[in-house]
């Protein structure tokens, strides 16, 4: 693997030259840039981690989640390591039972295989990872102590997190070759806690599509059914996690970009309020758009892993490094045995598809049996929130995105028609929109107080997942970005049953979008897929929403 760093330098130079040529010539060069970038990514995977063609599952095989365990390509030790949760691995690494280099190599190999199955990566840094892991092992050998609470743990990052020497294209060909000079603040926090970085994951163009596809790397597939999406914009992370190519990853969320991918693949995530986790030195697809704040958060296969990560980051006092972070230490708390939970059966715009509705009914039944107080919550303003977030996203007439596309002649993705056709708002109109947002937040706070709620339970999406290019509705997540509250998406333990989850004859659509979603709903396609829901707390209640989610999981298991 010694030549990869040299290849990177050569590659960056070529990419920058092509970028300059694009500015001087009307001929689009985005195709060449994308092809070169994909070739470099492929070449960065060493020969020993490239799956022989004869071992790869056929393209016709939809579910590839069992392939790592059944292919015979992984050793028993590699499978044992990569099947562990982050909490389990940290304990074994901190005790010296496992070496970081051994763990890191196992996840590098499994991540490389995951990419070959579902196209989930955007960058690799295997040399950096192995060097870091060896340093962790040397420290432990000398001192007998871990370097920090994440000692030796591989962590994957969404593409927009900067790592020095690597691109953060956020799906734009214009950013290819623009390698980061520094690590993002969050990456520094995690590495100082002992983490090891080894891959970054794919995103949609500008991170503004609820599926993961762009003109540089192409489409990421859902490992549970490759005919369906892994969500977006953190869909590279969700796909990698489901294939156990990462024990824990970090994504971002501006309209549902953590929660939607988590729900599409049946994993856990935390959407924190703005100011809990550092965002400094991360690349944005729309820099300067702060009417709705982008936040980052962990994605993992267990809630315990999410809680561990969250405490480590907050215990690092990120407010001393990022002016946007609030000085709020981690707050241990004891929840009341009886929670008051509002249940939002639908958003008045789109009815949930049958499996999601069934999971919500099942969860409410379990919560009532566990002694919790569950009350109906009727939303009154979902269309307003959806309209507001759409206006914020295109307030500049999508000029920030348009300029990046024009640099290389890159065409608009068809999923971004609303951005392509947008007209800029005046400063006066933006100010009025911000005034409306704040009034909306206060009205919801008053209503929440009047109801005396601890949490709100509702679908993460109206569907479980869907075929590619089938995203139609994000209101179930986007409203909470407008409100900037803490939320968790969690798997209920239920899966789609094609013989049960059928549309009833009495079904009535609430809108054209609702009709389209339910018309496209195919229980046979989704049979066996996990069903997730969303639990929402107040602003800056990350500790509480994690604890309440644990209470919900306990009720579900009872």
Within 10 angstroms of residue 364's Cβ, the number of other Cβ atoms is 18
Read off the pLDDT band of 22 (50, 70, 90). Answer: very low
- Interval 280-293 mean pLDDT: 98
CA-nearest of 262, 199, 254 to 231 is 262
pLDDT at 167: 99
Is 257 annotated in the active site? yes
Q: List, for residues 54-111, the tens digit of each pLDDT value.
A: 999 999 999 999 999 999 999 999 999 999 999 999 999 999 999 999 999 999 999 9
Q: Spell out the domain ranges in the chain.
A: 29-52+64-557
Q: Which of 158, 244, 366, 391 is catalytic?
A: 158
Cβ(183)–Cβ(162) below 8 Å: yes
- Interval 429-447 mean pLDDT: 99
pLDDT at 7: 37
Please indicate if the annotation marks 511 as binding a ligand.
Answer: no
Cβ(184)–Cβ(208) below 8 Å: no
Read off the pLDDT band of 5 (50, 70, 90). Answer: very low
Q: List, for residues 151-168, the tens digit of each pLDDT value.
A: 999 999 999 999 999 999
Helices (H), 328-420: 354-369, 382-393, 399-408, 417-420
- Percent of the chain scoring above 90 in pLDDT: 94
Q: Does the pLDDT at position 551 exceed 70?
A: yes
pTM over 0.85: yes
Q: Which residues of 394-427 are buried (b: 16+ CB within 10 A; e: fewer)?
A: bbbebebbeebbebbbbebbebbeebeebeebee
Q: Which of 156, 173, 233, 238 is catalytic?
A: 233
Q: List, for residues 495-528, the tens digit of each pLDDT value.
A: 999 999 999 888 899 999 999 999 999 999 999 9
pLDDT at 505: 83
pLDDT at 21: 46
pLDDT at 506: 83
Which tokens is 419 given?
Answer: 């951005």
> Residue 111: left if φ>0, alpha if ψ -120 to 50, beta else—which one?
alpha
Cβ(462)–Cβ(473) below 8 Å: yes
The Cα–Cα gap between 457 and 537 comes to 9
Q: Does the pLDDT at position 24 exceed 90?
A: no
544 Cβ contact list (under 8 Å, min separation 6): 333, 335, 454, 486, 537, 538
Please indicate if the annotation marks 293 as binding a ligand.
Answer: no
Could you list the beta-strand ranges (E) of 444-486: 455-459
DSSP string for residues in 117-141: HH--EEEE-HHHHHHHHHHHHHHHH
What class does CATH assign to 29-52+64-557? alpha beta
Read off the pLDDT band of 13 (50, 70, 90). Answer: very low
Write down the mean pLDDT value for the chain. Answer: 95
pLDDT at 17: 45
Q: List, for residues 392-416, the tens digit of each pLDDT value.
A: 999 999 999 999 999 999 999 999 9
Q: Which of 122, 168, 238, 257 is catalytic?
A: 257
Burial of 330 per CB tally in 10 Å (0-12, 13-18, 19+): middle
CA-nearest of 139, 134, 237, 150 to 191 is 150
Q: List, for residues 183-231, the tens digit of each pLDDT value.
A: 999 999 999 999 999 999 999 999 999 999 999 999 999 999 999 999 9
Read off the pLDDT band of 308 (50, 70, 90). Answer: very high
- Percent of the chain scoring above 70 in pLDDT: 95
Please indicate if the annotation marks 397 as binding a ligand.
Answer: no
- Interval 231-246 mean pLDDT: 99
Please indicate if the annotation marks 257 as binding a ligand.
Answer: yes
Within 10 angstroms of residue 339's Cβ, the number of other Cβ atoms is 22
- CA R_g for the chain: 23
Is 233 annotated in the active site? yes
Q: What HEC string does 142-180 produce?
A: HHCCCCCCCCCCEEEEECCECCCCCCCCCCCHHHCCCCC
């Amino acid at each position: 693997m010694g030549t990869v760093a040299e290849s990177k330098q050569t590659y960056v130079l070529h990419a920058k030259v092509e970028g300059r040529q694009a500015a001087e010539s009307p001929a689009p060069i985005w195709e060449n840039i994308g092809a070169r970038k994909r070739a470099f990514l492929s070449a960065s995977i060493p020969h020993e981690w490239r799956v022989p063609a004869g071992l790869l599952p056929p393209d016709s095989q939809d579910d590839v989640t069992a392939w790592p365990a059944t292919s015979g390509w992984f050793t028993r030790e590699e499978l044992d390591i990569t099947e562990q949760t982050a909490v389990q691995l940290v304990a074994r690494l901190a005790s010296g039972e496992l070496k970081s280099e051994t763990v890191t190599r196992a996840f590098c190999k499994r991540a490389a295989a995951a990419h070959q199955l579902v196209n989930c990566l955007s960058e690799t840094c295997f040399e950096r990872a192995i060097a870091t892991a060896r340093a962790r092992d040397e420290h432990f050998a000398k001192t007998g102590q871990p370097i920090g609470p994440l000692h030796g743990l591989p962590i994957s990052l969404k593409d927009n997190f900067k790592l020095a020497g690597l691109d953060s294209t956020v799906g734009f060909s214009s950013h290819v070759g623009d390698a980061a000079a520094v690590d993002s603040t969050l990456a520094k926090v995690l590495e100082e806690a002992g983490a090891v970085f080894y891959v970054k994951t794919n995103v949609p163009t500008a991170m503004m599509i609820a599926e993961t596809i762009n003109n540089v790397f192409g489409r990421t597939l859902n490992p549970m059914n490759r005919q369906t999406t892994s969500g977006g914009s953190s869909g590279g992370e969700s796909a990698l996690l489901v294939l156990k190519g990462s024990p824990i990853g970090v994504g971002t969320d501006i309209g549902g970009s953590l929660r939607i991918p988590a729900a599409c693949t049946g994993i856990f995530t935390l959407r924190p309020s703005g100011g809990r986790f550092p965002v400094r030195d991360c690349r944005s697809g729309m820099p300067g758009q702060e009417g709705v704040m982008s936040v980052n958060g962990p994605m993992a296969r267990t809630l315990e892993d999410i809680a561990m990560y969250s405490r480590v980051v907050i215990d690092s006092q990120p407010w001393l490094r990022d002016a946007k972070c609030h000085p709020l230490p981690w707050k241990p708390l004891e929840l009341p045995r009886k929670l008051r939970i509002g249940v939002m059966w639908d958003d008045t715009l789109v009815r949930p598809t049958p499996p999601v509705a069934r999971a919500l009914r099942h969860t409410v039944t379990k919560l009532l049996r566990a002694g919790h107080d569950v009350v109906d919550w009727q939303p009154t303003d979902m269309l307003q929130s959806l309209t507001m977030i759409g206006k914020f996203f295109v307030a500049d007439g999508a000029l920030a995105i348009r300029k990046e596309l024009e640099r290389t002649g890159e065409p608009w993705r068809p999923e971004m028609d609303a951005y392509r056709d947008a007209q800029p708002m005046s400063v006066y109109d933006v100010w009025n929109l911000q005034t409306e947002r704040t009034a909306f937040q206060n009205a919801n706070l008053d209503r929440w107080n009047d109801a005396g709620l601890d949490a709100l339970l509702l679908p993460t999406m109206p569907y479980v997942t869907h075929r590619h290019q089938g995203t139609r509705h994000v209101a179930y997540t986007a409203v909470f970005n407008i409100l900037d509250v803490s939320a968790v998406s969690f798997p209920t333990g239920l899966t789609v049953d094609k013989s049960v989850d059928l549309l009833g004859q009495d079904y009535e659509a609430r809108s054209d979008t609702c009709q389209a979603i339910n018309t496209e709903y195919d229980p046979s396609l989704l049979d066996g897929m996990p069903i997730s829901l969303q639990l929402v707390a107040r602003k800056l209640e990350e500790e509480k929403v994690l604890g309440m989610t644990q209470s919900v999981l306990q009720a579900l298991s009872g």
